[in-house]
Chains A and B, each alone.
Chain A
Amino acid sequence: GQSLEQPSEVTAVEGAIVQINCTYQTSGFYGLSWYQQHDGGAPTFPSYNALDGLEETGRFSSFLSRSDSYGYLLLQELQMKDSASYFCAPLNDYKLSFGAGTTVTVRA
């Protein structure tokens, strides 16, 4: 079967660094995406890892280890606007599946 785990909530202060871990178990795995969603709006596309290692996109970085079925999203220099839900989304059989998401709350 398929399973996906990520923390339900994370709280941090402005300027801090947050790491959201994701462990997955899925067949036909091709890569790992992370999506951001504000207040139930349209999810947007922060990152995608097809290969092991670290991908950096501005203040966001994403990491993948295929052998460990593990990845993380790193949010640096946190800003209030980063308060949102973040979804780990393994790409399997050419389709994305989503976890329940991690709610990140940034405090002043």
Chain B
Amino acid sequence: IAGITQAPTSQILAAGRRMTLRCTQDMRHNAMYWYRQDLGLGLRLIHYSNTAGTTGKGEVPDGYSVSRANTDDFPLTLASAVPSQTSVYFCASSPRTGHGYTFGSGTRLTVV
């Protein structure tokens, strides 16, 4: 692993199903973030974590949950997917909050 890795790369999901998007970084960055990107709306912050063991809500947290059990992993869970959650999801990390984000390559999720 070099940098930040997201999985899966893409997924088609039936509405109502539960889904966890994985994000792992090997840079020992303290802060991690989940964004969604929709056409014409840029990137919107879903949830964030300033350090292991803490999480916070971003701009569009409804329908999503996160956990930060350790420094490296920051999974994003959709408890019951809906079509409006169709989007490209980017995970990012930074050595300290707000500075020098490194982004993953994204997960393209389609909820049908």
Contact = CB atoms under 8 A, between A and B. Distances in A.
Interface of A: 30-31, 33, 35, 40-45, 48, 87, 91, 94-101
Contacts of B105: 41-42
Contact of B99 (A42, A48, A100): A48
Given A87-B42, A100-B41, A94 B104 contact: no
A33 B41 CA distance: 17
Interface of B: 31, 33, 35, 37, 40-45, 48, 50, 58-59, 88, 90, 97-106
Which of A40, A41, A43, A100 gathers the greatest number of chain B CB atoms within 10 Å?
A43
A44 B30 CA distance: 19
A98 B42 contact: yes
A96 B101 contact: yes
Contact of A98 (B35, B97, B106): B35
Nearest to A35: B101
Given A40-B106, A42-B90, A42-B105, A48 B44 contact: no
A81 B49 CA distance: 33
B98 A91 contact: yes
B103 A44 contact: yes
B58 A95 contact: yes
A97 B40 CA distance: 14
B18 to A, nearest CB: 26
B101 A40 contact: no
Given A41-B105, A42-B105, A95 B100 contact: no
Given A45-B101, A95-B97, A100 B90 contact: no
Contact of A95 (B37, B88, B98, B102): B98
Which of A33, A40, A41, A96 gathers the greatest number of chain B CB atoms within 10 Å?
A96
